Amino acid sequence: MKKIVILISGRGSNMQALLETNLSCHVAAVISNRADAAGLQIARQRGIATAVVAHRDYADREAFDAALAQAIDAYQPDIIVLAGFMRILTTGFVNKYSGRLINIHPSLLPAYGGMNTHERALQDGVKIHGCTVHFVTPDLDHGPIIIQAAVQVLSDDTPHTLAQRVLHEEHRIYPQAIRWLCRGQVSLSAEGKVISDRLEQPGSPLIAPGLE
C-alpha cells in the first residue's frame, strides 16, 4: 500500500476530507509549518504521526525546505499532499518530489493563480468558478491538471458564499485525485503530461445554457 504525507498550515479541512474517505493508501504523517495548526490535533486524534517544521526557525526558504524535506523523507512517502500549506516552495524542493507533489487550488486553473481567487473571480464577473487538483511544478499554481470541479457563480454571491460552494467541491475532488494516485491510475510523464486511465472525468457538464 502506498504511503502519503500531508502538509498543512491551519485547520486542514481538505486534510480532514482526505482522512474521512477511503484513500486506498496509508497516511503516514501530517506535517505543519505551524505548531498551532488545528489540523495537527485532528490527525493526532486519529492516531496519525505529526511533526512541526517551523518556517520562522530558518534563515531562508532554502534552509526551511531542506529541513522540511528531511522530515518528509523520514516517512518515505510515495505521495506528498499539500492541503492548505501556505508556503511557497523552492524550485529545488519541487523538483526533488516531481511527480509526487500534489496541490489543490481554489480556482479553475490556469485562471486565478495565487491568492484571493474568489474576490478576483467576482470582480471580473465570471460565470463559472471552481477548483483544481494538480501536480506541483516550479511554476506556481500552473502544474499539470489532474481533476477540476466547477460551480456556477450566482448574481448575489459574495466571496464567502462562493468560497463555501467551491470548498464543498474541493472536499469531493481531492480525495478522488489521491485515490487515483494511490491506485496508480494517474501519474506524470517525463514530458510533464498527466497520464491517466481515466479517459473522461466522471460527471456531466455543469451548465450548457439555452439560447433564445
105 noted as active-site residue: yes
Among 47, 81, 97, the domain boundary falls at 97
Q: What is the mean pLDDT of the chain?
A: 94
Write out pLDDT tens, residues 9-58: 998 899 999 999 989 899 999 999 999 999 999 999 999 999 999 999 99
The active-site residue, picked from 55, 105, 129, 171, is: 105
* In a domain? residue 205: no
For 49, the domain range is 1-97
Write out pLDDT tens, residues 101-146: 999 999 999 999 999 999 999 999 999 999 999 999 999 999 999 9
Write out pLDDT tens, residues 50-73: 999 999 999 999 999 999 999 999
Query: Do 45 and 74 reside in the same domain of the chain?
Result: yes
Query: Do 91 and 109 reside in the same domain of the chain?
Result: no
Q: How confident is the model at residue 207 (pLDDT cuts 50, 70, 90)?
A: low
pLDDT recorded at residue 12: 86
| CA–CA dist 6, 4 (Å, integer) | 7
What percent of the residues of the chain are helix, what percent strand, and what percent coil, each to the nearest 5?
A: 35, 25, 45
E strand or H helix at 106, and its extent?
Answer: none
Query: Do 6 and 93 reside in the same domain of the chain?
Result: yes
| CA–CA dist 49, 62 (Å, integer) | 25
Query: Do 90 and 108 reside in the same domain of the chain?
Result: no
Query: Do 91 and 3 reside in the same domain of the chain?
Result: yes
DSSP for residue 154: P
pLDDT recorded at residue 16: 95
* In a domain? residue 208: no
Number of domains in the chain: 2
* In a domain? residue 206: no
pLDDT of residue 201 exceeding 90, the answer is no
* In a domain? residue 51: yes
Phi-psi region of 116 (alpha: psi -120 to 50; beta: other; left: phi over 0): left
CATH of residue 155's domain is 3.40.50.170
pLDDT recorded at residue 91: 97
* In a domain? residue 211: no
Q: How confident is the model at residue 183 (pLDDT cuts 50, 70, 90)?
A: very high
Among 67, 82, 97, the domain boundary falls at 97
Question: pTM score, two decimals?
Answer: 0.93
Query: Do 3 and 89 reside in the same domain of the chain?
Result: yes
| Residue % of the chain over a pLDDT of 90 | 89
